[in-house]
Amino acid sequence: MRIAISTGGGDAPGLNAVIRAVVLSAYHRGWKSYGIQRGYEGLLSFNGVVPLGPAEVRGITHLGGTILGTTNRGNPFRYISRDDQGEAIERDRSDDLVAAFQASGFDALVSIGGDGSLQISHDLWRKGLPVVCVPKTIDNDVSSTQRTFGFDTAVSTATEAIDKLHSTAESHDRVIVVELMGRYAGWIALYSGLSGSADVILLPEIPFDIEKVCGKIRSREEAGRHFSIVVAAEGARPKDGAIELLERRGVGTVDRLGGIASKVARAIEVHTGKETRTLVLGHLQRGGSPTTYDRLLALRFGAAAVRAIAEGAFGTMVGLNGQDITRIPLENVVGRAKFVPLDCDTIRTARDLGICLGD
């Protein structure tokens, strides 16, 4: 058996652990593994394929990034190339890709990726490519798996940042608004906000009322707590009209300030008179050595993907369900996202602790 491994989308701590687990699991079955560099591009050009054995995956479990270098961000169904005049041309090269895959003598593809990659994998599977997917997103918003690797590391990085801001906020009597990843789902903001003892947590799932946020800050002020930490997912949004209302009341430029952190910070300054600062954690959440939780999950996903191949369970994604690794048909995964349920235990815990969720 010859297995190809590709990674797609953004960086996520644990990628190397998945690759190592796939390679070692395959090796101990007597199979061979190959890494596809530069994503599908490397396969289409036939010059981005590298053999991977135990020596190549030695000592990489704890390393961030990916030994395959740049991850795949192309789409074979909408392949972009340049014509003689340098104009971009979009073509469907999915048939070429399937052909290249077969010509390379591969028996299976382990595709590690998020939303976009899962969709592509699903479409390639329908064209006959024997694929098994491993979900990858630090945002934890892929459906059909309770966790994705990289998420625990991102939460740890964000929590550590919030921890550090506490002493500064306190010794300077300030409000600090931290913007975390999460365009559609607020998992990182919720988990790290709770772990980091934030006073306010704003999620895409719960449109916020800026009055509620400022009320929380004021009530802390009255209790002698002259600082506050507000955590906002990048996708957090005010309730209908709230920002416009602010503008009429003089916050004016709030909508042109860039990210949600700047807007919320400006609104807090105007409403409460408190000096307010922002921190946009950005790419820091993607990098670094994976936590042990993520290492283990990534290793389990990688080994499970090879087991799925051994049992011919193509067209599936491996996922975590309680203590078990399950296989989910790709058609049940694609096009869905996993949002924070408004009635989940973690949300309830946040409310019980008196954290303001903006509603």
Instruction: Supply the residues annotated as catalytic.
Output: 139
- With binding defined as CB under 8 A, does residue 218 bind its own copies? no
Alpha carbon of residue 48 to chain centroid: 26
Choices 22-30, 95-103, 112-120, 228-236 (CB under 8 A): range interacting with its own copies: 22-30
**Measured CA angle at 133 (ends 8, 117), to 5 deg:** 35
Residues 283-322, interacting with its own copies (CB under 8 A): 283-284, 286-288, 291-293, 295-296, 299-300, 303-304, 306-307, 321-322
Among 45, 47, 102, 168, binds its own copies (CB under 8 A): 168
The least CB distance from residue 176 to its own copies, in Å, is 7
The least CB distance from residue 343 to its own copies, in Å, is 11
By rule CB under 8 A, what count of residues binds its own copies?
A: 78
- With binding defined as CB under 8 A, does residue 146 bind its own copies? yes
- With binding defined as CB under 8 A, does residue 228 bind its own copies? no
| Tokens matching residue 258 | 């860039």
By beta-carbon proximity to its own copies, the closer residue of 129 and 261 is: 261
Q: 281-293 as b/e, with b when 16 or more CB fall inside 10 Å? A: beebbbebbbbeb
Choices 89-97, 114-122, 265-273, 323-331 (CB under 8 A): range interacting with its own copies: 323-331
Residues 75-134, interacting with its own copies (CB under 8 A): none
Residues 46-65, interacting with its own copies (CB under 8 A): 59, 61-65
- With binding defined as CB under 8 A, does residue 159 bind its own copies? yes
Residues 241-280, interacting with its own copies (CB under 8 A): 277, 279-280
